[in-house]
């Protein structure tokens, strides 16, 4: 029986705070396995492509053009070239051919292209922040699943120890029944207690398998943790400026400001250089012959009236900036509230664990004394059952509080933007 009590206490005997490499590997594995992360990474790649597209606004556009058209009638005139002799001249051929290579280069767009680049870069930063936010959320989820498995594994071990304890006591009581020193009802009460513990164990196993399925869903791994300790590091940082949600909110403000600048630049002029070279017909005196030709020039486009669309777009972009500023304030206040709640929880859990250490010591000593008295026939089986239940309840409470404190540490890591998987 002492071996069984030792096993119960060994479940909560050691406490380490060295971050497990096993959890780090699972989190890193989830980053390459979970589709949501791949989706966010793809969005970042799309943002990088959009920046390159915006930069291409500084580059010239070169197009090859070819056209054919048949025109009839065409303008023509007759000129006298001798006595009673006239020559008819067409001003345009019936068959018109034109093939050329045209170049268009922006000379000065008054910052329109640069504002588009800035907007694309801001959108890229938002995509990168969103990707980081997804990783932090996934890392927290994996950590909670991981330590949930450890919690359930410990709880199952406690139930196994208690069942073994009751099985041993059942044999003692059955022996006493045969000797006439105990009643059969004591055996029935022990069996009822064993059945109840086995029912709790079955439920714990069900929850354990459910957590394993969640671990497989997020990481692709389906093996239970090798560790059996709540070894997540306590977070001492209080600065939340690295919080991924707060960073993403700030990047959305910058993106909205870049969008506002881009909207304002749409009302600016645009100066282009234009050139083309190719072959076409229609030149006198032989209008059907194709000849080399080229064109060089410049064009200035000045927006004058666009139905108020530019002004409305500017107003809308400014409102979007204001909206994202309020959104960031809301995120910041929410983080402050969550940090205060988590810190309060951690303090309470630490105090509870101190009390539970004392309770376990008292329950262990009480069970030892009750066991001695029970063997001597001084205590009843009910006394032994109550002493065992008190120790079991204290151990399970300690495991539960340690698990809840670990969850609070994980939430602290997320709120402060701590990369515990690196």
Does a structural domain hold residue 306?
yes
Does a structural domain hold residue 421?
no
Overall domain count for the chain: 1
Q: What is the pTM of this model?
A: 0.80
Q: Residue 8: its pLDDT value, please?
A: 52
Does a structural domain hold residue 235?
yes
Does a structural domain hold residue 422?
no
**Per-residue CA distances from 286 to 78, 93, 151 (Å):** 16, 9, 95
Does a structural domain hold residue 237?
yes
Does a structural domain hold residue 40?
yes
220: left (phi over 0), alpha (psi -120 to 50) or beta: left
Does a structural domain hold residue 136?
yes
Q: How far apart are CA 103 and CA 59, in angstroms?
A: 10
Q: What is the pLDDT along the chain (422 residues), one digit of tens a residue?
A: 444 455 455 544 444 434 468 999 999 999 999 999 999 999 999 999 999 999 998 899 999 999 999 998 888 888 777 777 777 888 888 899 999 999 999 888 888 888 889 889 888 999 999 999 999 999 999 999 999 999 999 999 988 988 888 888 788 778 877 777 667 887 888 888 889 889 999 999 999 999 999 999 999 988 888 888 888 888 877 788 889 899 999 999 988 998 888 888 888 888 999 999 999 998 888 888 999 999 999 988 888 877 778 888 888 989 999 999 999 999 999 999 999 999 999 999 999 999 999 999 998 899 888 888 877 777 777 787 788 888 888 989 999 999 999 999 999 999 999 899 98
Q: How far apart are CA 296 and CA 102, in angstroms?
A: 10
For residue 175, give the CATH number of its domain.
Answer: 1.20.1600.10
Q: What are phi and psi of 300, to 5 degrees?
A: -120, 120
Q: Residue 138: its pLDDT value, please?
A: 95
Q: Residue 31: its pLDDT value, please?
A: 94
Does a structural domain hold residue 147?
yes
Range of the domain at 328: 2-416
Q: Residue 207: its pLDDT value, please?
A: 95
Q: Which residue has the tokens 């399970």?
A: 396
Q: How far apart are CA 23 and CA 31, in angstroms?
A: 13
């Amino acid at each position: 029986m002492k071996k069984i009590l030792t096993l119960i206490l060994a479940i909560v005997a050691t406490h380490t705070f060295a971050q497990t490499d096993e959890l780090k590997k699972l989190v890193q594995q989830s980053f390459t396995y979970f589709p949501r992360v791949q989706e966010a990474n793809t969005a970042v790649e799309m943002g990088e492509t959009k920046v390159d597209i915006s930069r291409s606004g500084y580059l010239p556009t070169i197009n090859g053009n070819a056209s054919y058209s048949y025109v009839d009638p065409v303008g023509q005139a007759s000129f006298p070239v001798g006595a009673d002799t006239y020559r008819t001249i067409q001003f345009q051929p019936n068959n018109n051919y034109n093939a050329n290579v045209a170049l268009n280069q922006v000379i000065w767009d008054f910052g329109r292209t640069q504002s588009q680049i800035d907007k694309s870069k801001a959108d890229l930063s938002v995509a990168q922040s969103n990707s980081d936010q997804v990783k932090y959320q996934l890392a927290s989820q994996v950590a909670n699943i991981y330590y949930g498995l450890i919690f359930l594994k410990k709880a199952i071990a406690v139930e196994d120890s208690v069942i073994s304890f009751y099985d041993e006591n059942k044999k003692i009581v059955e022996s006493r029944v045969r000797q006439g020193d105990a009643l059969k009802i004591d055996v029935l009460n022990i069996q009822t207690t064993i059945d109840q513990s086995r029912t709790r164990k079955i439920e714990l196993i069900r929850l354990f398998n459910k957590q394993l399925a969640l671990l497989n869903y997020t990481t692709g791994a389906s093996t239970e943790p090798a560790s059996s300790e709540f070894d997540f590091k306590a977070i001492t940082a209080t600065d939340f400026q690295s919080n991924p949600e707060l960073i993403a909110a700030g990047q959305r403000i910058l993106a909205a400001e870049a969008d506002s600048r881009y909207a304002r630049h749409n009302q600016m002029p645009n100066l282009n250089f234009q050139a083309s070279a190719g072959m076409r017909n229609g030149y006198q005196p032989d209008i059907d012959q194709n000849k080399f030709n080229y064109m060089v020039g410049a064009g200035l486009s000045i927006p004058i009236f666009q139905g108020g669309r530019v002004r409305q777009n500017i107003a809308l972009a400014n409102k979007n900036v204001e909206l994202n500023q309020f959104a960031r304030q809301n995120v910041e206040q929410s983080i402050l509230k969550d940090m205060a709640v988590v810190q309060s929880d951690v303090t309470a859990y630490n105090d509870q664990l101190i009390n539970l250490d004392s309770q376990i010591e008292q329950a262990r000593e009480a069970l030892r004394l009750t066991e001695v008295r029970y063997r001597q026939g001084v205590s009843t089986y009910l006394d032994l059952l109550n002493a065992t239940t008190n120790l079991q309840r204290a151990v399970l409470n300690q495991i539960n509080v340690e698990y809840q404190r670990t969850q609070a540490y994980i939430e602290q890591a997320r709120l402060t933007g701590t990369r515990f998987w690196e």
